[in-house]
Structure 1
Amino acid sequence: MNAFITELKNDHIQLLKLLQEVQITGLGNEAGRRKLLEGKRLLSAHLQKEDTRLYPSLKNNPAAKSISEQFAGEMKKLTSEILDFMNRIEKAELNMEYAKELGRIITTLRLRINREEIQLYPLYDKATV
């Protein structure tokens, strides 16, 4: 497996772990909010890697171009939703609805991560051999 893909997968593990810790710790305290902001930084760095290295490589490969464009488009929408949620931490009412939204985001991210690791990352491995 390509070292870059291993790095992206490690980011996924760290991000999900952090968000699960936020769920356990809760958002009603400073520790939970710090972890959520750490998750935001990790997600932003991860997306930067995908945008600058993963998607450009795949777009240059005719066999992978269509699926990479589809994934990139989906991720833009998802990123907007996730970052909006994370940015609201400063002024949101931290109630049960906010906690439920965190759960939905974790589920959505987990599904997205599975799709990337099963469908997208193998294409990158093949394209960069």
Structure 2
Amino acid sequence: MRLTDILRDQHAQLYVLLDELQGVGLAGPEGRERLRKARQAMVAHLALEDSRLYPALQAHPSTSTLARRYVGEMQQLTPALLAFFDAYHEGNADPEAFSRSLGQLLAVLKQRIGREENQLYPAYEAHCEPTGLPPTQA
């Protein structure tokens, strides 16, 4: 499976978890479990981008400027994303405040994910993705 397919699948899984969280709310063990899983999914996704996607994009002359811009944005965005999860992990927040914060998080994520899937991932696929050709036989 291509790296960008894995990253897109992770986006979809994150959306599902956050939509479920929005539906059940934070109160009760089910909401806290969804929050925990969403945080884990977010951290895993960010780690994969940091370890594989951005280094490849930064190394290619055609994508290095784009990569630097996206990395810089994520350096600012990541602490805010993680702060959301950390602020609500105990589950004792005001339901309305939580709902507003979750709505803001979803809006930010949808914008960022849309840009990644429409700009960043196609650039990776065009310039950095391994060709998948089998090695030559001796």
- In the TM superposition, structure 1's runs of 4+ consecutive aligned residues that sit over 4 Å from their partners are none
Q: State the TM-score, normalized to the length of structure 2.
A: 0.88
Deviation string for 1:44-78 (max 9, x for gaps)? 01111100100000001111111111111111211
5+ long unaligned stretches in structure 1: none
**Aligned pairs, how many?**
128
Query: How is 1:1-129 mapped onto 2 (pairs within 5 angstroms)?
Result: 3-91=2-90, 93-95=92-94, 96-127=96-127, 128=129, 129=131
Comparing both structures, which one devotes a greater share of its residues to helix? 1
* Structure 2: unaligned runs, 5 residues or longer: 132-138
**In 2 relative to 1, CA 75–11 (structure 1 residues): closer, same or farther, beyond 3 Å?**
same
State, as a whole percentage, how many aligned pairs show the same letter.
34
TM-score, reference length from structure 1: 0.94
Larger Rg: 2
d(CA) in 1 for partners of 2:90 and 2:107?
Answer: 24
Query: What code does the residue aligned with 1:35 have?
Result: R
DSSP 3-state at the match of 1:47: helix
